[in-house]
Copies of this chain bind each other. A is one copy, B any other.
Amino acid sequence: MRNIKLTVEYDGTSYSGWQRQPGLPTVQGELEKALLRISGHSVDLMAAGRTDAGVHALGQVCNFRITTRLTPPEIARIANQLLPGDIRVVKAIGAPDAFHATYHAASKIYRYVIRTASEKSVFDRLYHHSLKRARPLDLAAMRRAALRLKGTHDFRSFQGQTIYKRDPVRTILGVKVVRKGPEVHLEFHGKSFLYQMVRILAGTLIYVGLGKIKPDDIPVILAAKDRRKAGPTLPPGGLFLVKVFYPKDAGKSRRVSKIEEGIE
């Protein structure tokens, strides 16, 4: 079976998130259905980020093993003919045998898109979060707060309620606060993120932009390890998984690199 790596774009509005769930429309479910129709055997997708219901992706990455003799570009083209219009394979390439889109992901960029109410339009209402009142955001304060989020911290204050217990220590490599025409884009580059972490980080930065939280409060919020100290969880429609980074040799000679790790 060949190992194929896909880059996928989707409008998450109509889906109960990435992950396959019985009886619910999911992005993974739709992709697996299309690949099953192509190959005739059931296909198991591994993805870099299991995005929540309503969250979008510009560059989700996943991989799967398949028996078809079609070339990767042919798989992409045919899958796009079978997929609904809100899911699109952007790219398909052959991957090393051991490549795993989840485990080998080195880091990811998520973007949260904000508009103020005065710039509302019905046409992109699903792809950003509109602030209720038309108040200007203090981008300089948001950038000062963003700097204080960088680095390795216990992010328990920025984690949504979940039954899964995971290590709350995460590393944020960078946060950008960018004005793009009528929008403000918040870009979070991190190794990995906790449940709802990006939406809570975005809600906290907006509170900073509105003057409800000071940039200097960020270390205090982190130290509190208390979800109630951070800003609100913003709705999913403004969130995009933008890009996933992999080491150049991801999936190649896995055993050797394990040994190397042991030596270091």
Contact = CB atoms under 8 A, between A and B. Distances in A.
A185 interface: no
Copy tally for this chain in the complex stands at 2
A242 to B, nearest CB: 13
A11 B123 contact: yes
A122 B9 CA distance: 7
A87 interface: yes
Contacts of A121: 9, 88
A155 interface: no
A37 interface: no
The bracket for how many chain A residues form the interface is 10 to 19
B56 A88 contact: no
A87 B11 CA distance: 20
A123 B11 CA distance: 6
B122 A86 contact: yes
Contact of A125 (B56, B86, B122, B125): B86
A123 B85 contact: no
Contacts of A127: 123
A193 interface: no
Contacts of A124: 123
Interface in A117-161: 120-125, 127
A10 interface: yes
The residue among A10, A56, A85 with the most chain B CB atoms within 10 A of its own CB is A85
B11 A85 contact: no
5 nearest A-B residue pairs (beta carbon): A11-B122, A88-B122, A85-B125, A9-B122, A86-B122
Interface of A: 9-11, 56, 85-88, 120-125, 127
